[in-house]
A and B are shown apart, each in its own frame.
Chain A
Amino acid sequence: AQKITQTQPGMFVQEKEAVTLDCTYDTSDPSYGLFWYKQPSSGEMIFLIYQGSYDQQNATEGRYSLNFQKARKSANLVISASQLGDSAMYFCAITGAGSYQLTFGKGTKLSVIP
């Protein structure tokens, strides 16, 4: 069984500041993948970034980076230079090799303050 824990129901960040959204996971799969998705108030699910369990380097995609600490089973999302458009729900999710499904955390609602 796989599990994702996001302990921050809501976060506030000042515009142009960086923010870290926490994600810890639990899995018995030796090979797995971690994803972050953004869900704005309009409702669509937008893929942001992926980290594989065997990747040597932390993933980065533009202003998004993933602080992956395998021993601690954490995969925190870092958003640099926050923008008003970053206000949304953010979901961390995990999938295992051979398992097609995503197991999601409960999400963190990020609000960017001007």
Chain B
Amino acid sequence: DTAVSQTPKYLVTQMGNDKSIKCEQNLGHDTMYWYKQDSKKFLKIMFSYNNKELIINETVPNRFSPKSPDKAHLNLHINSLELGDSAVYFCASSPGHLGQPQHFGDGTRLSIL
């Protein structure tokens, strides 16, 4: 059973399009996250939700909009895709307590043509 699952695994699309990435966790965790990993492998937090409420919103263009319909799901919608959005996007979840590791999905590789 996959603990944190993201779909799709690969996403290739044209500049200017709108796309969504879905994330689901079956670990019963309260907190979910989106991270972006750039071409140099640097990982940076984008958003964090705790019990469906947004608690972290780093400096991310407002073309990126997370949505959490329930505690187990955190989706990422991206409008008007740009070349610089090409990256691997990771979803993660954790119980939200210090000392508990975050569990990551396998990542979604987004390529903008």
Chain A interface (Cβ < 8 Å from any Cβ of B): 31-33, 35, 37, 39, 43-45, 47, 50, 52, 89, 91, 93, 95-97, 100-104, 106-107
- A104 with B98: CB separation less than 8 A: no
Interface of B, helix, strand, loop or mixed by DSSP: strand
Number of A-B contacts (CB under 8 A): 59
Interface of chain A, helix or strand or loop or mixed? strand
Tell me the B2-35 residues at the A interface (CB within 8 Å). 31, 33, 35
Interchain nearest-CB distance for B107 vs A (Å):
5
Contact A101 B56 (CB under 8 A): yes
**Chain B 91-113 interface mask (CB, 8 Å, partner A; 1/0):** 01010101101111011010000
B56 touching A104, Cβ below 8 Å: no
**Which B residue's beta carbon lies closest to that of A44?**
B106
